[in-house]
Amino acid sequence: MRIVLETYGSRGDVEPMVGLAVRLRALGAEVRVCAPPDFAQLLDEADVPLTPVAWPIRALATGAIPGKEKAGLADISAELTAMAYEAVAGVAEGCAAVVATGSFPALAGTRSTAEKLGVPYVFTSFSPCYLPSSHQPPLRRPGQVIPPEVTGNRELWDLHAEHMETLFGETVNAHRASVGLPPVSGVRDHVFTGHPFLAADPVLGPWQETPELDVTQTGAWIRPDERPLPAGLEAFLAAGAEPVYVGFGSMPMRGASAPEISRAVIEAVRTQGRRVLLGSGWADLGSIDDRDDCFVVGEVNQQALFRRVAAVVHHGGAGTTTTAARAGAPQVIVPQVADQPYWAGRVSELGIGTGHDGPTPTAESLSAALKIALAPETRARAAAVAGTVRTDGADQAAKLLLDMVGRSGSAPSES
């Protein structure tokens, strides 16, 4: 049995798919991942074949694709839809199912590929806040204007669907026509389907049953990471008290330059009497002086690292939030985009940390947030919640997927 997994996004969109791929393969399935070319090494380390999709995601996000610096959303969406379609079409014929997540235009192209080939399709969200529900409002899309009289969740989701239609409907249907498929109305619901998977931990990101969707919540898809920490990092950790880790992953920070952000976060951590461990990431964080209480790392095994820090300051991606919670590390989330404000809210509600007010931290604002995260009661609550975080989400999803396909010859999310 062969399964194709598709995602176009940052590491937070790719890493869970690798976790699912590893579990599917352990259960006897053949797996291929379609993802941005940036992640060739990650897939190679997991011994999972990669089919590259579109442009390198970091170059696109930072405006480094020649000729795309001033491209509008419509042009990028049209190209990405077509490129995802072609990439998946090249490997999905005859497969048992296509599982997809990530960027909406790439999802639309993947959905069309599955339909064209007659292959079952499963949409997956890594955060509850992306899924229409009467229990929560939608995330506001860029450029979307909400009339002040519209306050009910269902009405807000209806407006969200209309806005998605405005943004992507024409593009999606133009591409569908080009490959011989009929037009669809309601592109959001067409792509999301009525039966999505939700790969989020039930404690951190709970789903409440709603008439709008039949959601299967599996738990987060975690790829076990057995890599040792670098020798220099081990030496730094051993040289003093637990540091505060600050890293913003695949997020170029808004509102300030890399040196300004670096200075603000280092000074904030020092104000709390702690050593600081910087994850350079796309924000390009770096040291501001030659003091030995600061150490800079690149991409490392966060599953191992977060068990050895006093707190984690990060952007609020679903994967980083789950990894920190699983490690029992108090968190400060500095949300930038997308579902990150949702995770900041959940961390605050659970008492395992706090959300920073706004996307650009100053030494003063981050120091105030760290004071909450480093309080003994927050640490105790984080340790208690850590024991409730599930680690079997990818295994559960793999078994469900194979069972569904095996029993019916189709996945649950075709409509």
**The CATH number of the domain where 155 resides is what?**
3.40.50.2000
Residue-level pLDDT at 410: 53
Residue-level pLDDT at 252: 85
Indicate whether 32 pLDDT > 80: yes
Residue 385 token pair:
């919640």
Quick check: is 154 in a domain? yes
Indicate whether 140 pLDDT > 60: yes
Domain residue limits at 15: 2-222+391-408
Residue-level pLDDT at 320: 97
Rounded Cα distance, 152 and 157, in Å:
9
Indicate whether 409 pLDDT > 70: no
Indicate whether 144 pLDDT > 60: yes
Residue-level pLDDT at 69: 67
Mean pLDDT in residue range 59-87: 88
56 φ, ψ to 5°?
Answer: -55, 130
Q: What is the CA 104 to chain-centroid distance, rounded?
A: 13
Residue-level pLDDT at 205: 98
Indicate whether 187 pLDDT > 60: yes
| C-alpha Rg value of the chain to the nearest Å | 21
Residue-level pLDDT at 411: 54
**When comparing pLDDT for 215 and 415, which is higher?**
215
Pairing of strands 311-314, 331-333: parallel
Indicate whether 142 pLDDT > 80: no
**Same domain flag for 170 and 277:** no
Indicate whether 141 pLDDT > 90: no
Quick check: is 344 in a domain? yes
Rounded Cα distance, 315 and 249, in Å:
7
**Same domain flag for 210 and 190:** yes
pLDDT range class, residue 260, cuts 50, 70, 90: very high
Mean pLDDT in residue range 90-119: 97
**Same domain flag for 261 and 166:** no
Pairing of strands 216-217, 244-247: unpaired
Quick check: is 12 in a domain? yes
Average pLDDT, the chain: 94
**Same domain flag for 381 and 395:** no
Residue-level pLDDT at 62: 83
Residue 169 in 3-state DSSP? helix
**Same domain flag for 174 and 237:** no
Residue with structure tokens 């791929």?
A: 21
Spell out the residues 6+ positions from residue 310 whose beta carbon is closer than 8 angstroms to its own: 241, 242, 243, 244, 274, 329, 330, 374
Distances (CA, A) of 345 to 4, 34, 352: 33, 32, 11
**Same domain flag for 296 and 398:** no
**Same domain flag for 269 and 370:** yes
Mean pLDDT in residue range 345-354: 98
Quick check: is 245 in a domain? yes
Q: Which residues pair with 279 in a beta bridge?
A: 247, 297
**What b/e readout covers 282-311, taking b as 16+ CB neighbours within 10 angstroms?**
bbebeebeeeebbbbbeebebbebbebbbb
Indicate whether 26 pLDDT > 90: yes
Quick check: is 414 in a domain? no
Pairing of strands 2-8, 30-35: parallel
Residue-level pLDDT at 212: 81
Indicate whether 73 pLDDT > 90: no
**Same domain flag for 366 and 255:** yes
Percent of the chain with pLDDT over 90: 87
Number of independent structural domains in the chain:
2
Indicate whether 384 pLDDT > 70: yes
Quick check: is 155 in a domain? yes
Q: Smallest Cα–Cα separation from 71: which of 63, 82, 81?
A: 63
**Same domain flag for 192 and 268:** no
The total of other beta-carbon atoms located within 10 Å of residue 234's CB is 12
Quick check: is 415 in a domain? no
Spell out the residues 6+ positions from residue 153 whose beta carbon is closer than 8 angstroms to its own: 133, 134, 135, 136, 137
Residue 251 token pair:
């997020």
Quick check: is 235 in a domain? yes
Residue-level pLDDT at 164: 93
**Same domain flag for 206 and 330:** no
**Same domain flag for 265 and 205:** no
**Same domain flag for 66 and 210:** yes
